[in-house]
């Protein structure tokens, strides 16, 4: 029995030694990465500066627990940063995208974004906020934001598509514009409440139309008519309106 136990111990020690020896023969730079693994493993850098101590340049990952990690709806490839907008659009989508843009600005030299859109819409306020954010990222922060759309791009997702450049949409994608709607829980409202809501809906419609007019070849009057009756279109029709650049 003692011989059997001793044999097992020798095997375990040999296995551990072999594992350690295998690590020892790694090149020095790779071995350093294994010895001190980066705390954040999603942010690959292009920046080659050696001055920032928070960056592990041998492994090309940010090494800072306090920031720099992209959200679950974004990741980096060798060519671009992928951001995704899918399902219903709500405030969390704006927050994630805003944080991703700022982290890319503050931690990296990456400025090329591919936004993948497959969304039926959602909150008009948050869709317009995202469109404004992309506008700011392009015009003030130096980002290029292209769109790759598929499935459905409707309602609050349409202004987001409109502000990207270029805008590629897959064949068969359905695109829809319509009037904004209020969802109300049963309760008490005064005439002044209703009047205020009407004014707010008008301002919301103007902002929505503004993104479409500024980023397409179609007039405000024509967009307003399509929105009033709820209009579905295929990529070919959207391309005629200047909302899509290429179908592929």
Cα-only R_g, the chain: 26
CATH class of 70-186+194-248: alpha beta
pLDDT tens, 135-180? 999 999 999 999 999 999 999 999 999 999 999 999 999 999 999 8
User: Is there a contact between 84 and 124 (Cβ–Cβ < 8 Å)?
Assistant: no
- Count CA atoms within 13 Å of residue 95 on its CB side: 4
User: Is there a contact between 124 and 208 (Cβ–Cβ < 8 Å)?
Assistant: yes
Residue with tokens 């499935």: 151
Task: Give 146's strand partners.
Answer: 114
H or E element, residue 29: helix 28-35
pLDDT tens, 188-231? 889 998 899 999 999 999 999 999 999 999 999 999 999 999 99
Dihedral sign (CA 42, 45, 50, 52): negative
Full-model pTM: 0.74
Domain ranges of the chain: 27-69, 70-186+194-248
Q: Please state, in angstroms and rounded to a whole number, the distance separating the CA atoms of residues 163 and 167.
A: 9
């Amino acid at each position: 029995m003692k011989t059997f136990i001793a044999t097992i111990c020798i095997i375990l020690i040999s296995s551990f030694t072999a594992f350690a020896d295998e690590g020892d023969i790694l090149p020095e730079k790779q071995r350093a990465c294994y010895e001190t693994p980066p705390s954040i493993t999603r942010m690959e850098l292009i920046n080659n500066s050696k001055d920032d101590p928070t960056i592990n340049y041998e492994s090309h990952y940010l090494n800072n627990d306090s920031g720099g990690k992209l959200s679950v709806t974004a990741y980096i490839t060798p060519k671009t940063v992928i951001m995704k907008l899918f399902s219903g659009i709500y405030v969390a989508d704006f927050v994630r995208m805003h944080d991703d843009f700022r982290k890319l600005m503050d931690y990296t030299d990456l400025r090329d974004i591919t936004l993948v859109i497959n969304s039926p819409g959602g909150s008009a306020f948050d869709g317009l906020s995202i469109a404004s954010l992309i506008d700011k990222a392009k015009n003030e922060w130096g980002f290029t934001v292209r769109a790759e759309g598929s499935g459905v791009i409707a309602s609050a997702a349409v202004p987001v598509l409109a502000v990207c450049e270029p805008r590629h949409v897959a064949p068969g994608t359905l695109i829809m514009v319509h009037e904004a709607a209020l969802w109300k829980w049963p309760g008490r409202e005064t005439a002044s409440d209703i009047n205020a809501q009407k004014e707010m809906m008008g301002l919301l419609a103007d902002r929505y139309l503004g993104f479409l007019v500024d980023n397409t070849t179609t007039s405000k009057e024509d967009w307003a008519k399509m929105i009033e009756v709820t209009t579905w279109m295929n990529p070919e029709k959207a391309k005629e309106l200047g909302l899509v650049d290429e179908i592929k």
